[in-house]
Structure 1
Amino acid sequence: MKKIILIVTVFLLNLLRVHAQNVKVEGYVKDKKSEIPYVTVSLLGQKVQTDSRGYYSLYIKSNVPFKIDINAVGYKTFTQHILSVKNDTTINVALEALSNTLDDVVISTSRKPEDIRNVTTSVSIVNKKKLEKEMAINPDLSAILANQVPGFAPTAQTGNNVGQNLRGRPMLVMIDGVSQSSPLRNAEVDLRSIDPSVLERIEVVKGATAIYGNGAAGGLVNYITMVPDTGARFAGKTQINLNGSLVKVKNAEGGRINQMFYGKLGKFDYVVSGMYEQTGEYKDAKGDVVGPNYSLGETDSYNAFAKFGYAPAKNQRIQLTYNTYSSLQNSNFTLVNGNLATGQKATGVLGKPLGIPTGVDYNHNLNLSYKIDSTFLNSSLNVDVYYETRKDVFYVSLGRFDGGDGQSLAKNDKKGARLFLETPILNLDFLKARIAYGADFMKDKTAQPLVDGRVWVPTMDMTNIAPFAQADFNILRKLVFKTGLRYENVNIAVDDYRTLRTTGANNSTITPSFDVTGGNLKYSTYLFNAGLRYNQFNVFSPFVSFSQGFSVMDIGLALRDAKVNSIDKINTDAVKVNNYEAGFESRIAGLTFSASGYISTSKLGIEVVYDPATGLFNTARNPEKIYGFELAADYRLLDELGLSASYSYTEGKRDIDKNGKFNDDGDLYLNGRRISAPKVTASVSYSPLKVLDLTLNYTGINSRNRFEKNSNGVYNGNEGAVKAYHLFSFAGIYQVKKNTKLSLGVDNIFNQDYFPARAQWFMQPGFYSKGRGTAVNFGISVSY
């Protein structure tokens, strides 16, 4: 018995001694702003990855010298020698960003944070610094995206984004992954869904994507909202701007105020923000009022935003986000149509406009998410539930409906849930593999009634269920291979309805009013994607990809223009896009250069064409082929001097005879609503002092002329020739004190007198307006 007690005692003492030799080392890896996810930490032969919040932990022997190494793309390598540790120890590391790096982490390509150099498709990121500079000039998101993103069509400087697409196809606009778009009735107003002051960055994924499915045939724009960038319990920022025309100041003055509070209270963090803006009259280069149809002049906008986060444990986070946005034009002018034949611009005269104010009446977003890292099988889990509702008001159509006027609304109401899991399946030195999987569920109700209650587009009730799986392989840390599959299952219910009689000259009937039998429209398809990228050399990092996109066509447009008495007789077939892309990125000293070429094909497209006989726009359904290329360069000439430039070219055609060829005599080019003119951008940033940042921007829209004039000597709608124009803008930001900044922005510095691209190709008298002349924006912000 004594021997047994002795043996047990010796065993326990040895067990305690062995356990005592192991201590826990843990901490967070951060940069100046926030934690860095998925960074490799090496220590005594062990390698671990930080989780989505930058946290790592591992066990080592006590009283042993060791070296900790951290390597992250876009940051200087961190190395620290430590003599030894006796007890559990926390080692927090702050990495220093390299001076010549693009934004290194992107979420929208695969729904999880990943290194942008592991992405196998074209991505553009408008980071916080770029947003700050652009907002110093003009806070309009449609203008910011047009200036900053290659392949993005030029802005029309109006409250809607008709014709402003990605690579010639419709895009999906999201806020933190929640769709603001509806493929059921593409009202083309979704870019202006939130105020940029609450954004951390904007991620733009170009080309068809199978990751997000329905509606993302041309790519996606994801507005990523901010999180607190301080450990303080309470912090805030107040910003005030004054803006207006420099051509003719009278009645052009406007202002903007933004108040924000944020901080961290133990396991809680919060951001609360409110913005109100009122613009004055928009004046063109001659000092005349810009035509008031959808003009951003005389517009009242507000945005309220709140985000609350709670971390019950180091690997968990619960987050609730709410945002509401409104932007309505309250103009004192009535429209004076332009003259397409003589080139006379549209403008306005004092008077009460017809109808109710146009623009975004409201857009409410509510999103609840739960994230957990390192759960079963080291998986991560992300669950979201959301609700979004919006109402947009359009201009009055004169004499169109039953011989009278009509003003329509777009109403959209959606709710949904997303389940996303990611599991590592291999973690070898030469091969790492992860699989992401889950499902999307969404209910979307969309309708387009008239303000007076008449039904123009009946309520369309869509149920969309889409399971998906995506696999990522990293071979020898140099070769990245991604592939995935998504299944779209869509059901759209439409009740019986009655079309509206539309009229032309002398109250003549163009389309009669008649009953249409409703029913269910069903779609199901698989979407496949695959991509490869080779990162052996910084000087040449090539990629190739194939991805399929899917979108139900603009169902509402087809239903309101019905020529038959049952929806099962209307051509409502969905659009499935095949996108092929190849490109490369080069990083040499202070230069980053990227190039990509793409081809996008679909057996069926949606082209909105103008019928000069009726004055109405109809849809044409033909096979389509779109192709183009993009070039972009950033060069850090000196620490205080940076240069950047880009060039975008897109072209597209319709196969009218459907023989698989696009160069026959009868085949047609896609019009300006789909294909934008070539675009050139450039900027010079100079910081002669650490407290002073000066930027000069250039945006050039080149010419495009693909169609002939009609018998009246003018181009048909959507087919107008675009004449080149060149715009320069300036942003200066001066940090007066540690917590105080002054900003000065000047738009259209040289007061260029021009028609924006959309006014030229749209060829509609009411939208034939000049662009805004020289305008100034002065701001002051105080942080505390």
Structure 2
Amino acid sequence: MFRRFACATSALALCSAASGTALAQSAPQATALDDVVVTAARTALPRSALPATVELIDRAAVEQQSALGASAVETVAALIPSFSPTRQKLSGFGETLRGRSPLFLVDGIPQSTPLRDDSRDGFTIDSFFIDRVEVIFGSNAIQGIGATGGVINYVTAATPREAAGFSGRVQALTTFDADTFGDSAGYKVAAIGGQDFGRFDLTVGAAYEARGVYYDGEGRRIGFDGTQGELQDSVSWSLFAKGGVDLGPNRRLEAMVNHFTLEGDGDYVTVAGTRATGLPTSAVRGTPPGLQPSNEVTSAVLAYSDAGVFGGTLRAQLFAHDYAGVFGGGTFGTFQDPAIAPVGTLFDQSGNNSEKLGFKVEWEGPVAPVTGLRALVGLDGLRDTTNQELVLTGRDWVPLTQYESLAPFLQLNQRLADGRLHLSGGLRFESVTLSVDDFQTLWTYGPQQVAGGSPGFEELLANLGATYELTPGLLVYGSWAQGFNMADVGRVLRGINTPGQDVDTFLDIAPVVTDNFEAGLEYTRGGFEGSAAVFRSNTDKGSRLVLVGGVYEVAREATEIQGLELTARYTVNADLRFGGAYSHLEGRSDTDGDGVVDRDLDGANISPDRMLLWAEADHGDLSLRVQAQRLFARDFEGQVAENSFEGYGLIDAIGVWHAGFGDVSVGVQNLLGEQYVTYYSDVQRPGDNLSYYAGRGRTVTLGLTRRF
């Protein structure tokens, strides 16, 4: 079930709970929406108290999309129109939420690498272990740094506390191109199970997936992104464990560990296409040099909750995250050094490494003697240590950089008019220090000796919101919330090519503070549920990606993004449902520094307008879902004509037979075999024929899932 919620987008901690436009659901459910908790929002309030937008993709919808062979990121992109269409690659570079970068979490653990953003944070967990996905829209500081577009939290599976004995599920899938079986065939096997032993419960799981080669709608192999990394022709495996112990009627201690590894097989090399004639990049069998691109991620969290502290609930979390990503190599000019090999001959490749340690402590409860007033107060701490190395020669490209922050926060919510009116507001104070030791840049930049330093900043982030229930079933809301991020300091540090620089004076670490204004309404009557939201997101000193000499650099300039989101759903009866969603985005930036935005944001920074339509029907043991998406054409004022987007439409179908021995599924992506070039490939690098990638053609996934 994919549900539309209303939620207070706050710079601190928001809310949980929900309202209702279901955009993906295997069967209608009677859900007490005010009891649903969005854990990424860090507090629980009734739907009527929460004045902005959150969407929940529940387990049924995640499993339904997995019948198409979809990853967690592809599930989000398929069901949320204001999230960019995916690149169908390991890199999520250019994939945004409402035109800005989202913060990916796993059970509240940040997965991003903001000091050297390599855009792989969407692929850190297997979707088989995800119970639901929580999406909080718009710039906010709910979870600290990084959520300028919103928050995407993967909530992992837990042991059913009401189940008796050992329970779980196993799954086997195979995916292949409908017209070219052969090397397109891949498979996945996964299992998860657990038991509630009374005071103690434990769940464990494992997943393994081997992916085949992708083919486009005209039967050609799709080209490989040998630098940023691929999903096709790759192998991934994942281990998962989650357990908890009840320390009393109101106290619980819980731990989770997730390990995920994905690595390319290295069986193909790319053949350039021809943009001028519309011939996409392809691939032939061969062995690319060097190590294959990979992701290796381990996340762990220890959480404690006590619902009997000073009349409220105390929650504490300690987390760790270890990420290592390897990228493809080449004899790029940047990597050359005559002390190692003749210029033009040195092959190397980079690896990005990030280690995080952090904690979150918060208390939430009523504030006496003010009737209807609730407070959330807490403290967050984070240490992120990141460097980017050249893995074959052992050189540092981005020096070891350490980010440390402490952030106390306070959020208040006041209930008035018998609960029909809610007012909310809060503050979060971020105190940040960035530490870099003395370092030397690569030979191509001089090399330069750069003195280290410890620049920092302090930022007070605020939010205000209000909701009002005009009549039963009709809610209106409005909010203003601030979020923040940092420019990609790693890109800046590694490219210093002027003598005599030091980090304290050279590096601009002023945060990218975004102001998100939002207003909306939600309406429910009978079988109809609908919502509408308008928003505007501004920043005076943004972080826009600019292509310079074939490499993206960071431009600090004002940006403005505004948009509209609509959803609708109608339940005809218990066996028939249909609905849709639409997102419109506009974005501009100030490229000449005069304080006035003067040019459209390009496709690396903003996604196209998109419409989603779907219908579901059940008949006995059979279920069918058909979903369609339309990406609308877009021109970019101030950009080259070659980067205009023509648009395209796709249809998917999912059928499930609920048999006695398990659920047998057939999923078909791109049902009509549409030939298209993916959005990012179409709107970027007009002179690059190696990165002109088509999208996948008609692809079939056969699956069997058995619960026990």
TM-score by length of 1: 0.82
- Equivalent position of 1:465 in the other structure: 406
Specify the SS of the correspondent of 2:67.
helix
> 1:278, 1:686 → 2: CA distance?
32
Conserved? CA contact 2:230–2:293, under 8 Å? no
> 2:40, 2:133 → 1: CA distance?
12
Which range is displaced more, 119-128 or 389-398? 389-398
- Equivalent position of 1:775 in the other structure: 699
- Equivalent position of 2:555 in the other structure: 620
Q: Is 1:649 matched with 2:584?
A: yes
Conserved? CA contact 1:109–1:119, under 8 Å? no
Q: Is 1:440 matched with 2:371?
A: no
Conserved? CA contact 2:456–2:509, under 8 Å? no
- Equivalent position of 1:451 in the other structure: 391
The residue type equivalent to 2:412 in the other structure is A
- Equivalent position of 2:312 in the other structure: 379
- Equivalent position of 2:491 in the other structure: 557
- Equivalent position of 1:268 in the other structure: 200
Q: Is 1:244 matched with 2:201?
A: no
Conserved? CA contact 1:252–1:283, under 8 Å? yes
Q: Structure 1 vs Structure 2: percent identity of aligned residues?
A: 29
Counterparts of residues 440-589 of structure 1 (less than 5 Å): 440-452=380-392, 453-475=394-416, 476-502=418-444, 511-564=445-498, 565-567=501-503, 568-589=505-526
Conserved? CA contact 2:40–2:108, under 8 Å? no
> 1:653, 1:615 → 2: CA distance?
22
Q: Is 1:388 matched with 2:321?
A: yes
Aligned counterpart in structure 1 of residue 646 of structure 2, from 723, 728, 749? 723
The residue type equivalent to 1:444 in the other structure is D
Aligned-residue offset at 1:184: 0.9
The residue type equivalent to 1:729 in the other structure is D
- Equivalent position of 1:399 in the other structure: 332
> 1:147, 1:485 → 2: CA distance?
34
Specify the SS of the correspondent of 1:374.
strand
- Equivalent position of 1:122 in the other structure: 53
Aligned-residue offset at 1:101: 7.8
> 2:314, 2:218 → 1: CA distance?
57
> 2:300, 2:442 → 1: CA distance?
35
The residue type equivalent to 2:122 in the other structure is L
The residue type equivalent to 1:471 in the other structure is L
> 2:612, 2:659 → 1: CA distance?
30
Aligned-residue offset at 1:174: 0.5
Aligned-residue offset at 1:114: 3.5
Aligned counterpart in structure 1 of residue 290 of structure 2, from 355, 364, 367? 355
Conserved? CA contact 2:40–2:151, under 8 Å? no
1:438-466 deviations in Å (ceiling 9; x for gaps): 11111100111112211111111111111
- Equivalent position of 1:366 in the other structure: 300
Specify the SS of the correspondent of 2:183.
coil
Conserved? CA contact 1:541–1:584, under 8 Å? yes
Which range is displaced more, 493-502 or 678-687? 493-502
> 2:173, 2:326 → 1: CA distance?
27
RMSD: 2.0
Conserved? CA contact 1:291–1:346, under 8 Å? yes
Q: 1:298 to 1:470 in 2, by over 3 A?
A: same
Conserved? CA contact 2:89–2:231, under 8 Å? yes
Which range is displaced more, 286-295 or 323-332? 286-295
The residue type equivalent to 2:590 in the other structure is D
The residue type equivalent to 1:704 in the other structure is R
The residue type equivalent to 1:459 in the other structure is L
1:336-393 deviations in Å (ceiling 9; x for gaps): 1223333321111211012211131x100111111110222x1211111111101111
> 2:389, 2:581 → 1: CA distance?
42
Aligned-residue offset at 1:335: 1.4
Conserved? CA contact 2:448–2:497, under 8 Å? no
Greater Cα radius of gyration, structure 1 or 2? 1
Aligned-residue offset at 1:486: 0.3
- Equivalent position of 2:166 in the other structure: 234
> 1:340, 1:518 → 2: CA distance?
44
1:456-498 deviations in Å (ceiling 9; x for gaps): 1111111111111111122211112211110001101011122
- Equivalent position of 1:415 in the other structure: 357
- Equivalent position of 2:6 in the other structure: none
Number of residues paired by the alignment?
Answer: 665
Conserved? CA contact 1:418–1:439, under 8 Å? yes
- Equivalent position of 2:155 in the other structure: 224
- Equivalent position of 2:367 in the other structure: 425
- Equivalent position of 1:51 in the other structure: none
Specify the SS of the correspondent of 2:66.
helix
Aligned-residue offset at 1:109: 5.7
> 1:599, 1:408 → 2: CA distance?
37
Aligned-residue offset at 1:182: 2.1
Specify the SS of the correspondent of 1:765.
coil
Counterparts of residues 71-470 of structure 1 (less than 5 Å): 99=30, 105-108=36-39, 110-229=41-160, 230-293=162-225, 294-360=229-295, 362-376=296-310, 378-400=311-333, 401-402=335-336, 403=344, 404-426=346-368, 431-452=371-392, 453-470=394-411
Q: 1:709 to 1:575 in 2, by over 3 A?
A: closer
Aligned counterpart in structure 2 of residue 766 of structure 1, from 685, 690, 700? 690
Q: 1:757 to 1:625 in 2, by over 3 A?
A: same
> 1:104, 1:330 → 2: CA distance?
45
> 1:629, 1:573 → 2: CA distance?
30
Q: 1:121 to 1:708 in 2, by over 3 A?
A: closer
The residue type equivalent to 2:410 in the other structure is A
> 1:102, 1:760 → 2: CA distance?
41
Conserved? CA contact 1:632–1:646, under 8 Å? yes
> 1:222, 1:116 → 2: CA distance?
19
In structure 2, the gaps of 5 or more residues are: 1-17, 21-26, 337-343
> 2:369, 2:221 → 1: CA distance?
63
Aligned-residue offset at 1:598: 0.7
Q: 1:537 to 1:571 in 2, by over 3 A?
A: same
Q: 1:308 to 1:623 in 2, by over 3 A?
A: same
Higher relative CO (Cα under 8 Å, sequence separation at least 6) belongs to: 2
> 1:668, 1:139 → 2: CA distance?
35
Aligned-residue offset at 1:100: 8.1
> 2:240, 2:263 → 1: CA distance?
18
Conserved? CA contact 2:19–2:33, under 8 Å? no
Q: 1:542 to 1:336 in 2, by over 3 A?
A: same
Conserved? CA contact 1:532–1:543, under 8 Å? yes
Q: Is 1:751 matched with 2:673?
A: yes
Aligned-residue offset at 1:615: 3.0
Aligned-residue offset at 1:543: 0.5
Which range is displaced more, 267-276 or 97-106? 97-106
